[in-house]
Amino acid sequence: MTAEFEVGGIGITELAERYGTPAFVYDGNELGSRLDGLRARLHPELEVFFSLKSNPNVSICALLHAHGARAEVSSTAELLTARRAGVAPENIIFLGPGKSRAELAACLDEGIYTVVCESFGELSTLDELAAEKGIVVPVSLRVNPSFAVKGSGLTMGGKPRQFGIDEEQLFAAAGLAERHPHVRLMGVQVYMGTRILSEDPIVENTRRIFDLAERLSAHLGFPLEMVDIGGGLGIAYFDGERDLDLEVLAAGLNPVLADFAGRHPATRLVMELGRFLTAVSGTYVVRVRYVKTSLGQNFAVTDGGTNHHMAAVGIGSYVKRDFPMRLLNRYDEPAEQSWHVTGPLCTPNDVLGKKIALPPVRPGDLLGVFRSGAYGPTASPVLFLSHGYPAEVLVHNGQSYLISERDRPADLMRRQHLHHVAGLAAAGLEA
């Protein structure tokens, strides 16, 4: 018996047999300690809000909440998920460029901490809805800043965006509060981008966001009850990338946070994080169905692919870059061959990994795509070829739990309605 990969002390073969494949398996203890480690290093006034967008599972949210996370949500279902996970309304913020009236009404009904408003039109809608309900709604402004700090995968500032309101427009919007009597402006949010892998731009962004928040609140005459500095902390996926050094980040960021907190002791300081919290603890586990060669190249054809893990095709790049992948059931065998790992979809793009160094692969083997706990099935075309959602499994304190069921064909069929076309049988077209 050769060594195998384990999640939280449970062997991968046992997990795959119990829950089937393809499946996302999360190490709950790692998930919790990841947040603990961050919170222990960063200034104690900074509150971490979990961005459910990265992984909307209720058990993942509940586990992070047990370790102190609050919630940042962008749909009614995410809002209900956070509530069901036990997050109190005063620790939930709602954000997104195209909120519906129903979503805004849900925010008002739940009494969440703040709606992060992304347009003047949304502000009017909020004012109307709050007036109808006879209440005043706490609102913060998402600002599209005129500055941009280089160094993130996807930069937001200084560009035309559907997100937030341009800094210039807000400074020109005198009387904004007076024109919306049922809105109480109380905060500022800026999100500078995602997958940021260098410490300095995060520190510099934060400094500028605090400065912008102070100037805007003074200009428009509202108190700063909250400043949300965004987040976008990245993790390394690909060759040549390195993880953030939390000691370096803390050494740069904490003085900036302390300085602001000193001047604004009553202001809540918020950081929103998705990927950084959830990615590392998740492994996408697939089983090899067939092995073959084509023109000299080895292929392992597995039971799961980009329908569950679109990001594995390569994030923000036209060149395929591979996520870290390993053979899981014979974990200690030397990786001396080169394999393309592909899924069950009928498209040449269904490639989890290209030229992956693996031991000789056999049908029935288990392969793992690591660092896959963020933007997995939730950000993938799960209905393509009608395979549906994979199972999701959480291992916590030595026990495993099914936290999301895999779709069965019947689940997918149920949503469709058959329109009976008359006359087919008569025309002899029906079997």
Ligand X SMILES: *Cc1c(COP(=O)(O)O)cnc(C)c1O
Q: Which residues bind ligand X (CB under 6 A)?
A: 51, 53-54, 95, 191, 194, 230-232, 272-276, 374
Tell me whether residue 154 or residue 421 sits nearer to ligand X (CB atom).
154
Q: Go through the chain and tell me how many residues it has.
A: 431
Tell the smallest beta-carbon distance from residue 152 to ligand X (Å): 9
What is the full DSSP assignment across 290-356?
EEEEETTEEEEEES--TTT-GGGG-TT-SS--PPPEEESTTTTS---EEEEEE-SSSSTT-EEEEEE
Of 5 and 276, which has the nearer Cβ to ligand X? 276
**Cβ-based nearer residue to ligand X, 143 or 257:** 143
Chain centroid, CA 20 distance in Å: 24
- The nearer residue to ligand X, 157 or 230, going by C-beta atoms, is 230
Q: Measure the CA angle with vertex 247, ends 244 and 253; round to 5°.
A: 85
Best CA proximity match to 90, nearest among 144, 49, 146: 49
- Return d(Cα 171, Cα 421) in angstroms, integer: 60
Whole-number Å distance between alpha carbons of 60 and 372: 14
Minimum gap (Å) between residue 61 Cβ and ligand X = 14
**100-105: long-range contacts, CB 8 A cutoff, minimum separation 24:** 101/125, 101/129, 102/76, 103/75, 103/76, 103/79, 104/129, 105/129
**Nearest to ligand X of 190, 328 (CB atom):** 190
Closer to ligand X at the Cβ: 231 or 282? 231
Which residues fall within 8 angstroms of residue 262, CB to CB, at 6 or more apart?
none
* Residue closer to ligand X, measured from CB, 74 or 342: 74
| Angstrom distance (rounded) from CA 204 to CA 181 | 35
In the complex, minimum distance from the CB of residue 142 to ligand X, in angstroms, rounded to a whole number: 7
Nearer to ligand X, 184 or 275 (CB): 275
Q: How far is the CB of 108 from ligand X (least distance, A)?
A: 21
User: Measured in whole angstroms, how far is the alpha carbon of residue 308 from the centre of its chain?
Assistant: 14
Nearest of 103, 106, 112, 3 to residue 49 by alpha carbon: 112
In whole angstroms, how close is the CB of 208 to ligand X at the nearest point? Answer: 17
What is the smallest separation between the CB atom of 188 and ligand X, expressed in angstroms? Answer: 13
**The token pair that represents 39 in the structure block:** 């919170």
Helix (H) or strand (E) holding 61: helix 58-66
Residue 147 CB, shortest distance to ligand X, in Å, is 17
Residue number, 63 or 351, with CB nearest to ligand X: 63
Q: Which two tokens stand for residue 80?
A: 């209900």
Residue closest to 129 by CA, chosen among 148, 146, 108 = 108
Q: Which residue is nearest to ligand X (CB)?
A: 274
CB of 285 to ligand X, least distance (A): 22
Least distance between ligand X and beta carbon 81 (Å): 15
Residue 79 pairs in a beta bridge with none
